[in-house]
């Protein structure tokens, strides 16, 4: 048999495709697999509608039954069913104490001797009574924390330089657990993982001193998550609402807009009496400085605290930083305030903990992470809550960020955190690079709080948008192989393309509630279908500006009450139709 460089794909259908359709299939295959293909048609009268495309072991099933099954699978996958369990029982504390507080008289049995030092890890003998997670102090003034208890020695992680610590140096117990200064004066400031200011604006006078780690609120101390924490992003607030006290994971590959979503959410809290805390873990100092500059430019630093553990900081400081940020948030939560905390990102946090654990000679497990890495994040995220009225009614809402490799959400750390959180916003590289920003994958994203965290106005306005987008995605893939479309299908495609374009938003430009409601009501009514796709964004701006000037009372009522009536809905649609006609006359 003569060898050929081309690969063969088989198309099963009841009707033979024409030449134009065959060219479409071949073009799809060559683009998908980056190699030449030949297409062979196989007649199959059992396929009433659609086709099957077989490439080696892969099957593209676009029969009627196949499309139904794919839609069903997509719904099931969106529930995020990963469950990771762990029986780790270690309860870890972290440190922050002032050197001036050391007034305890140290007895001989409470002193130890350094045996080895290197890479921020110290092993010491003595200190037989030291406890796990206890703060210890070295002769040089450097502080550390007991992280490993062995029969004849301790493993200690350092929160400072190890240059002045040598073999034979003395180390003493403090009998103190870790803590961090907290207070209202931290608002508007940038601090390190120990609460020390690093923004050059002087010292910070603390109002209180809290343990870095505390037990999560119990069930009786919580109340249901039922108040919205609006992001200002239409794609999220309409389909994956976040409630105060919820934990919503932001997950995606590098450079897909994860931090941008968190930043927009922080900007959207302006004037809403919400405290924002941003914990930067293992990031470049320049990136943090840029983010601080954006917050200052938008007058958002006055209600924000930045806790920064940069890439140049040691692994122990990166490890401690999210717990320190959470302790700051709990101070405000216990005062009855609403707090939003962003962990950016927990992938680097897990890597820092892995580095520490390997240096402490702990056994590596799956993907070289220690077995208790699940407990690391579960005890952190469980501290987010909506407190009961008896406890003041405050809330701590968490937006953890996780970076994936090539979209692999089944890796160890992503599956761990998916199983801990109350939903995830999945960002897709292909969507991002195609210009769909925020690049939210509507099929894989989910909020397990759902409509309970939406205002009545948003719930009514959102309607069937998620189902409409799901139908559009199914139809879009199916129709790429055929140009012979009926009018109803073309209209559905145009409607879906318009919805996708409406979900695009510029960075640092969150929408107000009334702007989202008006946009959704107008879009789902289908009144924008006559406007070309490339003009949709321009029309939205024109329409929202017109509503703000012509119908200020309506906009204000929706914004303040979170409600609108059926008559309001009909009125919005009628006004929007008039704006469509005006826009078309002016621009088309």
Q: Read out DSSP for 92-150?
A: -------GGG--PPPPGGGEEEEEEEETTEEEEEE-TT--TT-EEEETTS-EEEEEEE-
| CB-based burial label for 396 (10 Å; 0-12, 13-18, 19+) | buried
Long-range contacts of 373-377 (CB under 8 A, 24+ apart): 373/412, 373/413, 373/416, 374/84, 374/85, 374/86, 374/88, 374/416, 374/420, 375/86, 375/88, 375/90, 376/92, 376/349, 376/350, 377/346, 377/349, 377/350, 377/416, 377/417, 377/420
C-alpha dihedral sign at 369, 374, 375, 381: positive
Before 183, cis peptide (omega within 30)?
no
User: Strands 143-149, 154-158: parallel, antiparallel or unpaired by DSSP?
Assistant: antiparallel
User: Strands 121-126, 170-173: parallel, antiparallel or unpaired by DSSP?
Assistant: unpaired
Q: How many CB atoms lie within 10 A of CB 252?
A: 28
User: Strands 304-310, 274-283: parallel, antiparallel or unpaired by DSSP?
Assistant: parallel
Strands (DSSP E) contained in 228-273 are 249-252
| CB-based burial label for 151 (10 Å; 0-12, 13-18, 19+) | exposed
Helix, strand, or coil here: 177? Answer: coil
Phi, psi of 454 (to 5 degrees): -105, 150
Catalytic entry in 170, 448, 473, 504? 448
Alpha-carbon distance 125 to 131, whole Å?
14
448 flagged as catalytic = yes
Q: How many CB atoms lie within 10 A of CB 221?
A: 13
Supply the Cα-derived Rg of the chain in whole angstroms. Answer: 28
Task: Provide, for the chain, the percentages of residues in helix, strand and coil under a 3-state DSSP scheme, each rounded to the nearest 5.
Answer: 40, 20, 40
Query: CA-based angle 19:23:28, to the nearest 5?
Result: 150
Q: How far is CA 445 from CA 69, 76, 79, 318, 387, in A?
A: 19, 11, 8, 28, 26
Element (DSSP H or E) covering residue 12: strand 7-13
Give the residue numbers marked as catalytic: 448
């Amino acid at each position: 048999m003569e060898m050929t460089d081309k690969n063969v794909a088989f198309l099963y259908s009841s009707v033979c495709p024409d030449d134009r359709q065959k060219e479409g299939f071949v073009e799809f295959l060559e683009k998908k697999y980056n190699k030449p293909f030949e297409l062979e048609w196989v007649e199959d009268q059992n396929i009433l509608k659609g086709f099957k495309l077989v490439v080696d072991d892969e099957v593209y099933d676009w029969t009627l039954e196949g499309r139904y099954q794919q839609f069903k699978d997509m719904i099931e996958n969106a529930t995020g069913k990963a469950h990771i369990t762990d029986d780790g029982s270690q309860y870890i504390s972290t440190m922050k104490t002032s050197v001036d507080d050391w007034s305890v008289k140290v007895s001989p049995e409470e002193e130890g001797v350094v045996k080895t030092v290197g890479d921020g890890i110290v092993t010491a003998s003595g200190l037989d009574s030291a406890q796990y997670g206890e703060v210890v102090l070295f002769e040089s003034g450097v502080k550390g924390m007991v992280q490993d208890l062995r029969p004849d020695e301790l493993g200690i992680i350092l929160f400072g330089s190890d240059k002045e610590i040598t073999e034979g140096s003395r180390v003493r117990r403090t009998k103190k657990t870790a803590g961090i200064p907290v207070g209202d004066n931290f608002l508007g400031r940038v601090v390190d993982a120990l609460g020390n200011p690093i923004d050059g604006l002087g010292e910070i006078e603390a109002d209180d001193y809290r343990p870095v780690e505390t037990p999560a609120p119990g069930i009786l101390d919580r109340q249901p998550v039922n108040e919205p924490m609006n992001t200002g992003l239409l794609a999220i607030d309409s389909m994956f609402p976040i409630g105060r006290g919820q934990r919503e994971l932001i997950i995606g590959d590098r450079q897909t807009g994860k931090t941008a979503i968190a930043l927009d959410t922080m900007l959207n809290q302006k004037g809403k009496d919400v405290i924002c805390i941003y914990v930067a873990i293992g990031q470049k100092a320049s990136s943090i400085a840029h983010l601080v500059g954006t917050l200052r430019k938008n007058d958002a630093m006055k209600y924000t605290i930045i806790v920064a553990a940069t890439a140049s900081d040691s692994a122990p400081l990166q490890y401690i930083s999210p717990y320190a940020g959470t302790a700051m948030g709990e101070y405000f939560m216990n005062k009855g305030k609403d707090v939003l905390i962003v962990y950016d990102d927990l992938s680097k946090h897990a890597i820092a903990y892995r580095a520490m654990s390997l240096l402490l000679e702990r056994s590596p497990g799956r993907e070289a992470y220690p077995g208790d890495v699940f407990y690391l994040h579960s005890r952190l995220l469980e501290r987010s809550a909506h407190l009961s009225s008896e406890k003041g009614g405050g809330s701590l809402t968490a937006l953890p960020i996780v970076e994936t490799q090539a979209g692999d959400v089944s890796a160890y750390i992503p599956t761990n955190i998916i199983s801990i959180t109350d939903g995830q916003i999945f960002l897709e590289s292909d969507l991002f690079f195609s210009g769909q920003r925020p690049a939210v994958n509507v099929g894989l994203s989910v909020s397990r709080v759902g409509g309970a965290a939406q205002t009545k106005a948003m719930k009514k306005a959102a309607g069937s948008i998620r189902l409409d987008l799901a139908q559009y995605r199914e139809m879009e893939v199916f129709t790429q192989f055929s140009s012979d479309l009926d009018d109803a299908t073309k209209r559905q495609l145009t409607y879906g393309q318009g919805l996708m374009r409406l979900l695009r938003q510029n960075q640092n430009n969150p929408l107000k509630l009334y702007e989202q409601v008006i946009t959704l009501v107008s879009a789902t009514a289908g009144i924008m279908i006559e406007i070309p796709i490339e003009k949709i964004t321009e029309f939205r701006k024109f329409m929202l500006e017109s509503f703000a000037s012509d119908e200020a009372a309506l906009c204000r009522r929706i914004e303040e009450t979170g409600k609108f009536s059926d008559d309001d809905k009909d009125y919005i649609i009628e006004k929007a139709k008039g704006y469509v006609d005006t826009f078309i006359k002016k621009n088309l």
